[in-house]
Amino acid sequence: MLLGTTASYGVLAGSTVTNTNDTVINGDLGLYPGTSVTGFPPGIVNGVTRVAPNAAAAQAKSDLVVAYDDAAGRGPGTVLASSEIGGLTLAPGVYTARRSSNSPGRSHSTARTTPTPSSSSESPRP
């Protein structure tokens, strides 16, 4: 699955980004077309923050929609036994959880892994 310019982003959103903890984002933070980013600090972005109006954020958001549509069209992929993904190491691929995926601990992906629509806790489409 091609992620285009989204590959460098740790967080990429459309309307707002709100942080309420001591979060560390290892990658870029992007927001388009929204403009409201709050909670940094105390949160830390180990990358570039790009907020609308920003051409790079706009392109990444467009690429995100393309990648999402690609993932959604691939079917359920590997169905996870639980929506709790904390502590798991996931190989590259498409994963489906029966409910929203939660990560109370740390999880690790060995490569880029894109959730299918049923495993996203966000709205149905980016």
Q: CB within 8 A of 18, min separation 6: which ones? A: 36, 37, 38, 39
DSSP 7-35: GGEEEEESSEEE--S--EESSEEEE-S--
pTM above 0.75, yes or no: no
Q: How confident is residue 99, by pLDDT bands cut at 50, 70 and 90?
A: low
Q: How confident is residue 111, by pLDDT bands cut at 50, 70 and 90?
A: very low
Q: What is the pLDDT of residues 74-90, one digit of tens each?
A: 878 888 888 788 888 88
Residue 38: is its pLDDT beyond 90?
A: yes
| pLDDT value for 88 | 81
Would you say 82 and 99 are in contact if contact means Cβ atoms under 8 Å apart?
no
State the CB neighbour count (10 A cutoff) for residue 21: 8
